[in-house]
Amino acid sequence: MRGYPQQPVPGALASWLELAALPSAVFWARRHAHAVLQAWRLAGDIETVQLLVSELTTNAIKFACPPSSGPAHRDRADAKTIVLVLWHHAGALVIEVRDPGPAPPLLTEAGPDAEHGRGLMLVQALSKEWGCYHPPTGGKSVYCIISAGTT
């Protein structure tokens, strides 16, 4: 799937979930991913998919609500929207999270005592491919691709 298409291809199974960019979004994104994988009868490691969804969602929340935005970003009424997109085609599962922030994610090496900074290292280690693109509507989309067969 090199050259990742920015939309599901015809015949692909697809799921889309909009979430408020709040800490609780990680829980709901994981739960949604689990339900979708069960509905699609995908074999494989649900825990890995949930971990990847968690990492991408956490990053999206961080970029949708940067620390400089102050405490207002924690209010549901002011929360920006992030979007989780899952699609499956030809033995591959694409996990994609969109957020309104324009800054691309940066893969950094976290030190052994670092409390943060390992999310993208996990995404890189657990997926066949990952990347970022900027849709014409603004913001960015960060995705990863893993192998996934049906049962």
How would residue 1 be classed by pLDDT, with cut points 50, 70 and 90? Answer: very low
Model pLDDT, residue 70: 52
| Percent of the residues in the chain that have a pLDDT greater than 90, as a whole number | 56
User: Structure pTM?
Assistant: 0.85
More confident residue, 131 or 104: 131
3-state secondary structure of 15: strand
According to the model, what pLDDT value does residue 132 have? 94
Q: Where are the domains of the chain?
A: 15-147
What distance in Å separates the CA atoms of residue 87 and residue 43, rounded to the nearest whole number? 14
> How many CB atoms sit inside 10 A of residue 117's CB?
13
The CATH number of the structural domain formed by 15-147 is 3.30.565.10
Q: What is the pLDDT of residues 68-94, one digit of tens each?
A: 555 544 556 678 999 999 999 888 999
pLDDT at 119: 81
pLDDT tens by residue, 13-49: 999 999 999 999 999 999 999 999 999 999 678 999 9
CB-count exposure of residue 51 (10 Å: 0-12, 13-18, 19+): middle
